[in-house]
Amino acid sequence: MIIAADDTDSMRGNCTTFLATEIINAMISEGWDLIGYPRLVRLNPAIPWKTRGNGALVMEFGKGTGEKEFIGNIEGKDVFIFESKTDEEPDMDFIRKLISPLVEKFHDPDYSDPGILITETRPDYSFYQRGVTRVMPREDVEKEIIRIGASKMEWGIGRGIIGCVCGSAWIPKDRTFELLAYRCPDKWGTKRTYDAKSIAEAERTIGSSFNSFDFRHGNVAMVPATPCPVMYGFRGDIPSDLIRGHDLIKTEKQYRWLIFETNQGTDDHIIKDPTPEEFIPDSSYSVEGRVVSVRRIHGGHTFVDLETDVGTVTAGIYAQAEEFRFVLDWLVKGDVIRVLGELRKEPRTLNVEKLLIVSLAEDRVKDPNPLCPGCGKRMESAGKDSGYRCRKCHTKAPVTYRAVSRKIVCGWYEPPTESRRHLSKPLKRMGEEQPLGMLLCRNPNNDD
Ligand code: ATP
């Protein structure tokens, strides 16, 4: 039986992943086993009403058979997952009664609209594809719930049910893992205590990990700043490596920890090379285009206009992405780049989350006005596109240019770790490396 939960949290605290650990604890205490990893499925990061990372939680329960794997610890009890299960299924009504009080206790009634889905049949995979890339109409989700014979529970307007259906439709193709560690309840909302050096060490020594520490800035990126129960999230490709990291990373006493299978760091939200009709706001795209112009606006936000197959696209990098925006500074007319990011409605800009410089045009500057070969005086312009002339000697000379060496090189560029989207595939996972480490601003006087 699959149980999915979404939209239980708010910016004030709580966290749907914590509710998931409560559900897992309750089901295991009732004699049921976890079948496969619990899943943290991120959906369309461009939907206007998400509070943070738009994540749905999906777990499968039954009577476990086959291989058993250690994935966490909840209040002193080790948690295992099973490879497969028997035909025995937990009763839907029993699950509803068990879960309701947990949602009541852990959701934020003012800022969340929880949904719970209980189903034996997975929704069609297309619901994941649409849920991660597009805005999904509630009616379509409701029809699918009826089609698969699922049971649902809702609080508030129950919008969470959309995430539940789309999240449980996920069949991992590319996938990663995240080990989430939780704080003791008496510490929730207080300052977190941890050893930053041990986090840097874990990221450096565990090759399959990503996004925990920003070596460019020397910042910890895996510890949230919100008042939620999460101590940290350690991300990577190999679950046993995450457990190794958990042993290395030093923090205040932990309440529980658990490994989730996720679609984070996969770029699943990106629609590549859309047609003009497909290129609509509230989704994320990958488009290639030729640079027309680059500009910096007040606040340090930087924009580039591109000629692309979907028309002229304005792509922007905001000051919060720090030195990542300086990549745009060094571009000139004629350069070809591929940008990946969310298309906003107002102003209609593509908010860049990663970019590839495909090719660089020649950058050139005009030579100074030449000297007259007759009198040796500086020649003057003879008018637009007419070169130079000397009034006195009536000599003429053409305009000449000199190539300027480019200070940027082709390759992939990404923002600092803390400014990355959950779903964005880090260069480390793409087997790429940013060709230039720390980028500088082209015109520091214009960086406000
Ligand atoms: P997190 O769980 O990481 O804190 P969040 O707080 O940003 O995520 P949620 O609280 O999950 O976001 O709220 C997002 C809401 O949007 C949920 O109600 C979810 O059902 C709904 N939703 C998710 N994906 C889509 C989609 N593609 N189209 C429409 N609604 C969606």
Tell me what the pLDDT averaged over the chain comes to: 93
Provide the pLDDT for residue 296: 83
Name the closest-CA residue to atom 10, ligand 1: 7
Q: Is 238 exposed, middle or buried (0-12, 13-18, 19+ CB in 10 A)?
A: middle
Q: For the residues 266-293, what does the mean pLDDT come to?
A: 97
For ligand 1, whether the C-beta of 154 sits within 6 Å is: no
Provide the pLDDT for residue 111: 78
> Torsion angle of alpha carbons 262, 264, 265, 266, nearest 10°?
70
For ligand 1, whether the C-beta of 53 sits within 6 Å is: yes
For ligand 1, whether the C-beta of 226 sits within 6 Å is: no
For ligand 1, whether the C-beta of 241 sits within 6 Å is: no
Q: What share of the chain is helix, strand, coil (3-state, %, to 5)?
A: 25, 35, 45
Provide the pLDDT for residue 12: 54
What tens digit of pLDDT does each residue of 13-30 get? 558 899 999 999 999 999
Q: For the residues 364-382, what does the mean pLDDT come to?
A: 94
What tens digit of pLDDT does each residue of 158-215 get? 999 999 999 999 999 999 999 999 999 999 999 999 999 999 999 999 999 999 999 9
270 pLDDT more than 90 = yes
273 pLDDT more than 80 = yes
Provide the pLDDT for residue 10: 59
What tens digit of pLDDT does each residue of 207-258 get? 999 999 999 889 999 999 888 899 999 999 999 999 999 999 999 999 999 9
| Angle (nearest 5°) at CA 115 between 114 and 121 | 160
> Torsion angle of alpha carbons 253, 247, 191, 216, nearest 10°?
170
Provide the pLDDT for residue 320: 86
Q: E-assigned strands of 299-395?
A: 302-308, 311-317, 336-343, 350-359, 363-366, 380-381, 388-389
Tell whether pTM > 0.85. Answer: yes
